[in-house]
Amino acid sequence: MLPTLNGRIQTRVALLVVVGSVWTLLITPLLPTGVGLGASYGATFSVLLVVTVLGVLWELVYHGIQQFRWEKDWPTLFGLVTMVPEGLLVWFLFAGGAIPWIGSLPGWAFLVHFVTTWMWVFVIANGPIRVPFVHWRFNGGRLV
């Protein structure tokens, strides 16, 4: 079964909202942000929100690129490597001030938060999600 575009978007959003939020709640107090806990949570949840919104747009780009592949899908390694362009785009948006309502998040704090969140979402999307959502793979990755 190949995940459909709709299924990939639903899975990405659901995992970022659930897994990403729980992980952000747990890791934010440990990040070296240099500001108060409220400002740290504001910055890290803003990163999560931007990654979620841009992720939907990235899925449209990836879907277009996948149409040139024989099996119309990514190998699993490509799914992992997409972390690099997505992370760079979000970092440039934050560091460049393109998102004005967010205080600056130090580079190391952003890197630790983004990479660890990405890894949790990636691991759960490629394994444990199949246990509670038995029909997930038969429905093209759709959750709803």
Mind listing the pLDDT tens digit for each residue in 75-84?
A: 888 888 999 9
Residue 40 lies in a domain: yes
Q: Model-level pTM? A: 0.87
- Alpha-carbon gap, residue 127 to 124, rounded angstroms: 5
What would the two tokens of residue 31 be? 């990040």
Highest mean pLDDT among 22-31, 96-105, 122-131, 134-143: 22-31
Q: pLDDT by residue (tens digit) across 11-52?
A: 899 999 999 999 999 999 999 888 889 889 998 999 999 999
C-beta of residue 13 within 8 angstroms of C-beta of residue 55: yes
Residue 143 within a domain: no
Has residue 139 been placed in a domain?
no
pLDDT at 5 over 90: no
- What is the span of the domain harbouring residue 62? 5-130
Residue 14 covered by a domain: yes
